[in-house]
Chains A and B, each alone.
Chain A
């Protein structure tokens, strides 16, 4: 009788020990290193979700790469939506601070991106809620850098940091 009670106690102790190690480590990994997310919507077609609502792409989001807020023109990044903090949006970086962009459908024709901000656009112009609607976004809202498509398997690929030449900034801030 005493032997089986001792077994249960030791099991509970081991479980709690494992739990308090595994959960914080897993949460920290998903917050700081990398996580996975499903992409919804058509704003990044044809790079992401070319099949529309039939099959959503699943991408690998790399937090570690943006831990110092270093992004490059052409990167696909996820950020907290400036209009709705409960939502994350995924767009391509078009311009960095100091660049001047020629906008599409924004209230001003040319915009200079302020310090600490970036200009993002979806690849599917006209079907994208991006900087052409809400202006430059603060780098503090940057969430992760989308580096690979993981699912569906036929779409396994590394996402290239390509800036469409027609969307290149009118004037770049030289480093």
Chain B
């Protein structure tokens, strides 16, 4: 009787470890479903939207300007931020508001990216904490699953003027 229970427990533990490892590999190397919170990416992504993120672009260094990415927060490694890539390494970024008279630019350093939320009025992003290292990027969001009224690929940035002219 005890041997039967012990055998069943070991089998259960074995299956849990096996499926846990498959889940880790899937999330780490392929992609997964993410729920976003906060107003900083409105109107593209609203609070409590569920989106699909893929991690292949990060591993193959294929993140481009205009991509929406999930990254680890530079000031809190346990939480994630969801923003759009405005500039890659070497790009010239306008750091002052477009309405300011004296404009100041800076260049994105090697190995870093400049992120901004689509809701420029209500977003804490690179304009506040500076460019973040590419190594903090976890994945690229490209598809919205929920709400169903907004199902499909994500729109381009509503702030096209923030992208630098090459």
Contact = CB atoms under 8 A, between A and B. Distances in A.
B109 A83 contact: yes
11 contacts: A24-B24, A24-B25, A28-B24, A69-B77, A85-B133, A117-B75, A138-B133, A140-B73, A141-B135, A141-B136, A142-B77
A24 B111 contact: no
Contacts of A116: 73-77
Interface residues of B, number: 26
B127 interface: no
Secondary structure of the B side of the interface? mixed
Nearest to A26: B21
Contact of B24 (A32, A80, A84, A115): A32
Which of B72, B73, B78, B133 has the largest number of chain A CB atoms within 10 A?
A: B133
Nearest to B109: A83
Contact of A80 (B21, B76, B110, B133): B133
B56 to A, nearest CB: 15
Contact of B25 (A28, A81, A86): A28
Interface in A96-139: 114-117, 137-139
Interface of B: 17-18, 20-22, 24-25, 28, 61, 71-78, 109-112, 132-136
Contacts of B71: 140
| Interface residue SS majority, chain A | mixed
A21 interface: yes
Contacts of B22: 20, 24
A81 B77 contact: no
Contacts of B18: 21, 24-25
A50 interface: no
Interface string A77-96: 00011111110000000000
